[in-house]
Amino acid sequence: MSAIKEILFADKNNFHGYVDERFADLAKQFSRLQDGRTQYGGAALTVYFQGQKVVDIFTGKKSETENWKEDTLSVCYSTGKGVLATLAHILVSEGLLDYDTPITQYWSEFGQNGKAHMTLRHILSHQSGLFDIRNMIGQAKEMADWQHMLKVMEQATPRFQIGSDIAYQALTFGWLVGGVLEKATGQPLKWLMQRYLVDPLELEGAYFGVPALELQQVARLITKPKKVETQSSSQNKKKHKTSFSDKLVELSGQNPQDFLDAMVPKGMRDFSFFSDEGLQAVIPAANGVFTANSLAKIYAMLANQGVWNDQTLIKPEVFKELSTIQSIKRDRVMPIPMKWRLGYHRVITMGKRAKKGFGHMGYNGSGAWCDPQRGLSFAYTHNFQIGSITGDYRLWGLTQEALRCADAELKGSKGWF
């Protein structure tokens, strides 16, 4: 059965959890998009609207032998960048660092090789020129050593003049931002996460480096049975092996080498983000592990412009800075316009617009975002074996329907645009 038929004839109630009746259509769409593939994985969706949780649902399998549960953790790849950026903004609000102070004021060793005037703003907006992970380290397994990677960042040389161009820091973002936060405060990143984000928001399941006791809660990849290939099907597969992301890069006219340099360190075949070693490592740009509820709650605070339960985590002047588009110049790595804010990009939908919205998606099609104008936040996590630098159509479709359900309440009509 084709993917379209699977969705059209899917079970609309194949999920567990809570749904506010105003968002019932979103829950049905979630079920339809997951129903045909639940034997190969699971997914979760959480939405907050005007400060209240309105959707908290899940379905499918956490592993080959376990079903997804309410507290299941999921590897979310680059979705974690938005979480790390949020922590940075909270620390700016606390007066512990500044967007435009040279990083060397906090981290003197960082000023090597032309980086003396680089700032946190350059890093958060992907204008540092430090995207080239492929030529910074010899083997991907080096990424698991936090202190080693901070030294790699110290010794790195920007690929272009600081602030003159934009190139998505697909992997380096985490060590760059996380390193600055540690050096500015004198505290480990895990402590900062707990003190300034996890505790104030009472999050249950938000990690850069999963504690050993929590490893059993993480959703693992489920291997699909391999199909027996004939010679003709094998040849056909070779002809069509180019991914959607590869095609976008090709059609955009960008240099594929920039994409490769940013996304694929050497020796990646010998390292897995889903291994116990990979899960316990601190690689904030790529291996953040979260529940959908934790992600949605972080963005619910952002949807409320930095305030949650009468606590001001992010001051109004800082919120204005973080949510302002820094540049609309074309990114050297990403094949579609991103409209980078300070650590976030635009909300990608299937028609609806969220002009003031922002968030971050992950390579596997997970994603989390907020729309302060609607008072809406959204998070989608899963463990399916898919990958695309521009996300997954399920993420776009669920985003679209979340906005439509909110508009039905706010405007009296769902609409498509």
Confidence category of residue 389, pLDDT binned at 50, 70, 90: confident
Helices (H), 195-286: 199-201, 231-239, 244-252, 256-263, 276-280
Find the farthest-apart pair of alpha carbons in the chain and give their distance in angstroms, rounded: 64
Residues sharing a CB contact under 8 Å with residue 275, sequence separation 6 or more, in sequence order? none
pLDDT-derived band at 233, boundaries 50, 70, 90: very low
Is the pTM here over 0.85, yes or no?
yes
Structure confidence at residue 249 (pLDDT): 60
pLDDT averaged over every residue in the chain? 93
pLDDT in tens, 92-144: 999 999 999 999 999 999 999 999 999 999 999 999 999 999 999 999 999 99
Can you give the pLDDT at residue 254? 79
Sheet holding 74-75, edge to edge: 74-75, 289-290, 206-207
Query: 240 falls in which pLDDT band (50, 70, 90)?
Result: very low
Beta bridge partners of 378: 47, 369
Instruction: Find the range with the poorest average confidence among 32-46, 183-197, 320-334, 379-393.
Output: 379-393
Q: What is the pLDDT of residue 8?
A: 76
pLDDT at 231: 56
- Identify the CA nearest to 289 among candidates 74, 111, 122: 74
Q: What is the pLDDT of residue 248?
A: 62
Q: What local confidence, expressed as pLDDT, does residue 239 receive?
A: 47
Note the pLDDT of residue 1.
53
Greater pLDDT, 390 or 29: 29
- Compute the half-sphere exposure of residue 386: CA atoms within 13 Å on the CB side of its CA: 22
Mean of pLDDT values over 36-56: 97
Sign for the pseudo-dihedral over CA of 357, 85, 380, 46: negative
40: burial class by Cβ within 10 Å (0-12, 13-18, 19+)?
middle
For residue 159, is pLDDT > 90? yes
State CA 152 to chain mean position distance.
23
**So what's the pLDDT on residue 230?**
52
Lowest mean pLDDT among 157-166, 195-204, 222-231, 375-384: 222-231
Q: What would the mean pLDDT of 155-174 be, rounded to a whole number?
A: 98
Candidate from 36-40, 65-69, 240-244, 272-276 with smallest mean pLDDT: 240-244
> Residue 73's beta-bridge partner residues?
218
Main-chain dihedrals φ then ψ at residue 67, nearest 5 degrees: -85, 155
Residues 6 or more apart whose Cβ sits within 8 Å of residue 78: 170, 285, 286, 360, 361, 362, 363
pLDDT at 289 over 60: yes
Residues 6+ apart with CB under 8 A from 381: 43, 44, 74, 76, 79, 290, 291, 292, 295, 366
Asked whether 129 and 262 are in contact (CB, 8 A), the reply is: no
- When pLDDT is averaged across residues 49-74 and rounded to a whole number, the result is 97
For each of the domains in the chain, give its residue range(s) and CATH number, in order of start.
40-221+241-417 (3.40.710.10)
User: Which of 344, 388, 380 is closest to 364 using CA atoms?
Assistant: 388
- The span from the CA of 166 to the CA of 278, in Å, is 28
Q: Which of 140, 169, 128 minimizes the C-alpha distance to 275?
A: 140
Q: Which residue has the higher pLDDT, 284 or 5?
A: 284
Q: Which of 367, 378, 366 is nearest to 403 (CA)?
A: 378
CA–CA distances in Å: residue 376 to residues 27, 180, 258: 16, 30, 35
pLDDT of residue 9: 80
**Percentage of the residues of the chain whose pLDDT score is greater than 70:** 93
Element (H, E) at 18: strand 16-19
Q: What is the pLDDT of residue 211?
A: 97
pLDDT for 250 beyond 80: no
| Pick from 7-11, 146-150, 242-246, 350-354: least confident | 242-246
Q: What is the pLDDT of residues 306-341, one digit of tens each?
A: 999 999 999 999 999 999 999 999 999 999 999 999
